[in-house]
Amino acid sequence: MVRILCLHGTAINSAIFQAKTEKLRTFLPDDYEYEFFDGNKEVVPQKFLREVFPGPYLTYIEFLTTEEIGNALGRIEEYIEEEGPFDGVMGVSEGSMLASSLILKHQNEKPHAPPLFRFAIFIAGALPFTWSEEYGHDVYGLLMSQNPLSVEADDWINLATKENATPTELQFFGDTILTDMFPNWEERRLQLHEMHTNPTNKHLKPHCYHPGITEERINIPTAHTWGTRDIFIGHAVGLYNLCDPETASMYIHDGDHDVPHTVEHNRRFSEIVKKTILRSDFAL
C-alpha cells in the first residue's frame, strides 16, 4: 500500500480537492491510500467556487510571513506524527507550496535522516515560502510591487532592497486577475505592510526559495503538472527547477491554475505519477 498525504489549495478544502483529483486517482492503483488534511483558516472564495462547491473555504495560512508558514508546517508535521508515516505528498497550489517547503525544512533540519516523503506530486505548483528568515530570499519588496508574481531572479534581487516598500497598484495584472482569484489579496497586502512597519516584526518578512538564487534542491523524485493558461506558470516552472533534474518529471496540459480537467490529461499525468513513485521505490 502507498499512503499519500494530500494538501489542498487556497479557498477550497479537502472535499473539493478530493473531487478535483477523482479522475487522476482512478488511473492510479487501487491500493493507494489518500489522506486529505484541511487548512484551519476560512477565507473568501472565488464567486464561481461558491456556485459549484459548498464550503467551508479554507487556507493553511493568512499571511506569507515566516511565522505563518512555520505554524502551518508545524500543523502538518503534527498530523504526520499522529497519522503517518506517508510515502508521498500531493499538493495543489498553496498545498504544493507548503509541501515543498516542508520537504526543504526537513532536509535542512535533519540532513542525515531519511526523507520525510519518498516522492512528491505538485499540481499547479508554487515556489516554497520559508519558515525562517535564515532560508530562502527576502520577497517583501516583490509582494509590494506592481508584479508580485514575477519569478525573474533580477526582480527578486533588486526588490529585496525595498525595505520600506508600500503596496503599489497591480499594473501588470490590471485590477482583475489576482483580485478575482483571491478576493482578499489587497487586504492581505495592506496587513502585511502594516505588520512590516513595526521594527520588532522584521524577522517575519516573507522569504521564498528561487532556483536561480538559492542552490538547494528538493532531493526526492517529483511529478509536476501545470496548465499553459496558468497565471502562476512561472511559479510552477520554478518549483520544477527547484527539484533534482535527474528525478523530476512534468506533464503540461492546456488548462489554467487547477487540477487537469479532462480524462486524457489525467491519464497522461497518471503515467508520470506512477513513473515517479516507481523511481522512488527503487531509488532510481
Domain extent listing, the chain: 2-132+211-282, 137-208
Biggest alpha carbon–alpha carbon distance for the chain: 53
What pLDDT score does 164 carry? Answer: 63
CA distance 81 to 93: 24
What pLDDT score does 53 carry? Answer: 84
Beta bridge partners of 34: 4
What pLDDT score does 175 carry? Answer: 45
Residue ranges in the chain whose pLDDT is less than 50: 174-175, 284
What pLDDT score does 170 carry? Answer: 57
CA distance 93 to 9: 5
End-to-end CA distance of the chain: 20
What pLDDT score does 137 carry? Answer: 96
Q: What is the pLDDT of residues 1-16, one digit of tens each?
A: 999 999 999 999 999 9
CA distance 85 to 204: 30
Q: What is the pLDDT of residues 62-103, one digit of tens each?
A: 888 999 999 999 999 999 999 999 999 999 999 999 999 999
What pLDDT score does 29 carry? Answer: 98
What pLDDT score does 174 carry? Answer: 44
Architecture of domain 2-132+211-282 in this structure: 3-Layer(aba) Sandwich (3.40)
What pLDDT score does 183 carry? Answer: 59
Q: What predicted TM-score, i.e. pTM, was given to this entire model?
A: 0.93
